[in-house]
Structure 1
Amino acid sequence: MDCIATSVLNAVSLSKEEFDREREWSELLPDMLHLVSTRLPDLCDFVRFRVVCKNWHSEAPVSDPPPQLPWLLTRSAAFDNHLQFYSLSHEKFQTLSVTESQGKELMGPSQKYIFASNQACSSLMLINPLTSEEVPLPSIDVDWCFPISTSLNCDGYVAICGGKTESKIQMLGLCHPGEDKWVTIRKALEGCLMIYSKGLYFIYSPETGTTEAIDVTSGVVITAIPPPPTKLNCLVESCGELLGISWDRRSFINQDPDCKIYRLDYEEKFGKWVQISSIGDQILFIDGGQGFSIRARGSIELERNCIFYLGSHELIKFYGVTTTYYLAKFDIETKSWEKKSLPSMEKPGWFLPNHDQ
């Protein structure tokens, strides 16, 4: 409660003694409660704020959390219904019981909704862990799948990639929640980076360096975009623009700050990758070949023009392979990496409770 109390006092510009003489904490006016909730620096404080009393709960809706860094989502045990959220600001875990996640694999990175699948991929859905809302998705005939857009895309669609275990051909699927089937196309995609944006799939091939823009309904390749100067490691959408991120994986070992950012300048039948030196007030969060961006404002303003990368190391020990995770932050202006270890987690991934950032 110390952080919450500090935010309250800062918002009303009173000392604690002056505030205590003025009124009871539970009697704060609704406008003041909302102002305080938007100034909390971390989601953990926001969650605690909401459970203080009914008045505070009603004036801090989960649809309007304060500006914040995303949490890292993991489980307390494999496939149980307890999810753990790791706060980068507090460096602590917050545990929530989410019955809807029982027995499902959770995949991200995620904004507001987590993509969830049972082991047979016969049951697909989106889950909001803070509200327990479920958004059912149509079934699809695959043995495995993962999302290639972060939860609900800006135009309301969900895009996935899936396939059969023994097949070299994968399936790209697109649907709007509430529809009864996926719009699918089939293509060899092994090793490729994929993203859905504005009615097109963009498929980057590390082998050739080209990026194909593919119509989602016909599967027709509209154009093949020439390779960028360096190999891409990630595709991410930021403020309606498609960015390609390129780095030397050795930079996480020898601290060589070799990271480049390209923007796709795309018009129908034409396109090229253009290197940029800044992403302005945006922050990128990368996990594998995917990610998302948010605008830096409020308590996270200092993190603007930065990239947060969730990485892993595999250690071979006598009893098997152990995976540890780390967080690397790249400051685009100073071209410098900052790396730190993370506590033990089970397949962590980025989670942001509200995608309207």
Structure 2
Amino acid sequence: MDCIAIAVPNAASLSNAKFDGEREWSDLLPDILHLVSKRLPDLCDFFRFRAVCKNWHSESPVSDPPPQLPWLLTRPTSFENQLQFYSLSHDKFLTLSVPESHGMELMGPSQKYVFASDQACSSLMLINPLTGEEVPLPSIDLDWCFPISTSLNCDGYVSICGGKTESKIQTLGLCRPGDNNWTVIRKALEGCLMIYSRGMYYVYSPKTGITEAVDVTSGVVIATISPPPTKLSCLVESCGELLGIFCDHRSLNDPECNIYRLVYEDKFGKWVQISSIGDQILFIDGGQGLSISARGSIESERNCIFYLGSHELIKFDGVTTTYYLAKYDIEARSWEKKSLPSMEKPGWFLPNQYH
């Protein structure tokens, strides 16, 4: 291949060059602005970047933020219209006014949209707390419900679990925004871990260790998966695969964390233990979680699991709950624990959707 010679001016010629004038920061090319905005390590920086001028604002839309660690979403008790987002990267709170969330309970983990419900489940919706966008969902005759996957699945479905106060039978519901009704099946699910993935409900029973793959329309059990070698404490989808996880983050000096992937051979599923999740990062809250790809400024957190945990302290005036973060480095097999500032029922929130 022929080489091409490029003449590069030396420093002397540059110093003698005449310029028409200094270039304004607001006139930076859109491609350069985009590259800069995607390198910002935290959304707080991203919002400050957008606020510099109209040009920077238009070239860095909220719908395309930089890769980052999820925030912890919480609502201050005294501010019904306001939400707080705690940044792990900056160890700071960002407070936003979200009138659309007034009177609603917000539940996660969630990506981009937060699942919101009133006390009677008569008003259900998805809310984007950064833009104020509302996505209405059908009402459902339940006394309580919560999402069993991240709030809007990659195939556009919302999945919930709920029930009646006096009943031992729970309801699994599935719908797409715009549907008039939920597709429901009813099943005894007390104490089970549940997740919706690719047209199936996966229900794990800690009592038996068995996982059932349930058809979402008929309620028929399509497959019964034998117990993994150890119990599971969480089900999470990562890169299109279903992972079962058991981690004991209470004993930091004696790390125990087992990760299993559900694989199918001749239509029979089984849990296979794995030693790495590659470039993924898992964020767990109770029996649920979300997975993101470690890119850009968060590459150093690859192959790690973040657990949101809590402690309850009984006092004379009631029970006080404090929260902490436990990070497990899978390769190093080590735990790191961090106390969190005072929050009200925090949950994971990822402003953008990427895997």
Kept in 1: contact 2:293–2:354 (CA 8 A): no
Question: 2: distance between equivalents of 1:59 and 1:121?
Answer: 39
Tell me if 1:320 matches 2:318: yes
Aligned equivalent of 1:284? 282
Shift of 1:269: 4.2
Shift of 1:266: 2.8
TM-score (norm. length: structure 2): 0.92
Aligned equivalent of 2:143? 143
Shift in alpha-carbon separation, 1:217–1:268, aligned structure 2, 3 A: farther
Shift in alpha-carbon separation, 1:59–1:223, aligned structure 2, 3 A: same
Count how many residue pairs are aligned between Structure 1 and Structure 2. 335
Query: What residue identity is the alignment partner of 1:115?
Result: F
DSSP 3-state at the match of 1:136 = strand
Matches within 5 A, 1:66-85: 66-77=66-77, 80-85=80-85
Matches within 5 A, 1:261-276: 261-266=259-264, 269-276=267-274
| More helix by percentage | 1
Aligned equivalent of 2:333? 335
Shift of 1:268: 7.2
Kindly provide the CA deviation profile for residues 26-48 of structure 1, in whole angstroms up to 9, marking residues without a partner as x. Answer: 22221111111101010111111
Which structure has the bigger radius of gyration? 2
Q: Sequence identity, in percent? A: 82
Question: 2: distance between equivalents of 1:69 and 1:265?
Answer: 28
DSSP 3-state at the match of 1:252 = coil
Query: What residue identity is the alignment partner of 2:309?
Result: G
Shift of 1:24: 2.1
Question: 2: distance between equivalents of 1:215 and 1:259?
Answer: 30
Shift of 1:255: 2.9
Kept in 1: contact 2:192–2:206 (CA 8 A): yes
Aligned equivalent of 1:309? 307
Kept in 2: contact 1:79–1:103 (CA 8 A): no
| Runs of 4+ deviating beyond 4 Å | none
Query: What residue identity is the alignment partner of 2:228?
Result: P
Aligned equivalent of 2:90? 90
Matches within 5 A, 1:1-357: 22-77=22-77, 80-248=80-248, 251-266=249-264, 269-357=267-355
Aligned equivalent of 2:17? none
Shift in alpha-carbon separation, 1:204–1:267, aligned structure 2, 3 A: same
Shift of 1:254: 4.8
Query: What residue identity is the alignment partner of 1:183?
Result: T
Question: 1: distance between equivalents of 2:40 and 2:317?
Answer: 44
Question: 1: distance between equivalents of 2:252 and 2:295?
Answer: 32
Shift in alpha-carbon separation, 1:183–1:289, aligned structure 2, 3 A: same
Question: 1: distance between equivalents of 2:321 and 2:350?
Answer: 24
Query: What residue identity is the alignment partner of 2:264?
Result: Y
Question: 2: distance between equivalents of 1:48 and 1:266?
Answer: 47
Question: 2: distance between equivalents of 1:356 and 1:268?
Answer: 31
Kindly provide the CA deviation profile for residues 308-333 of structure 1, in whole angstroms up to 9, marking residues without a partner as x. Answer: 00010111111111100000000000
Query: What residue identity is the alignment partner of 2:207?
Result: E
Question: 2: distance between equivalents of 1:239 and 1:48?
Answer: 32
Kept in 1: contact 2:72–2:348 (CA 8 A): yes
Query: What residue identity is the alignment partner of 1:312?
Result: S
Question: 2: distance between equivalents of 1:73 and 1:336?
Answer: 27
Kept in 1: contact 2:252–2:335 (CA 8 A): no
Query: What residue identity is the alignment partner of 2:273?
Result: Q
Kept in 1: contact 2:150–2:290 (CA 8 A): yes
Question: 2: distance between equivalents of 1:197 and 1:302?
Answer: 28
State the superposition RMSD in angstroms.
Answer: 1.2
Shift of 1:78: 5.7
**Could you list the runs of 5+ residues in structure 2 that have no partner in the other structure?**
1-20
Shift of 1:189: 0.5
Kindly provide the CA deviation profile for residues 69-111 of structure 1, in whole angstroms up to 9, marking residues without a partner as x. Answer: 0000001226711000000010000000011101100000010
Kept in 2: contact 1:70–1:352 (CA 8 A): yes
Kept in 2: contact 1:79–1:104 (CA 8 A): no
DSSP 3-state at the match of 2:31 = helix
Question: 2: distance between equivalents of 1:107 and 1:45?
Answer: 26
Query: What residue identity is the alignment partner of 1:218?
Result: S
Question: 1: distance between equivalents of 2:154 and 2:94?
Answer: 28
Shift of 1:348: 0.3
Shift in alpha-carbon separation, 1:51–1:151, aligned structure 2, 3 A: same
Shift of 1:53: 1.6
Kept in 1: contact 2:247–2:258 (CA 8 A): yes
Shift of 1:253: 4.1
Query: What residue identity is the alignment partner of 1:87?
Result: S
Question: 2: distance between equivalents of 1:71 and 1:22?
Answer: 39
Question: 2: distance between equivalents of 1:144 and 1:22?
Answer: 61
TM-score (norm. length: structure 1): 0.92
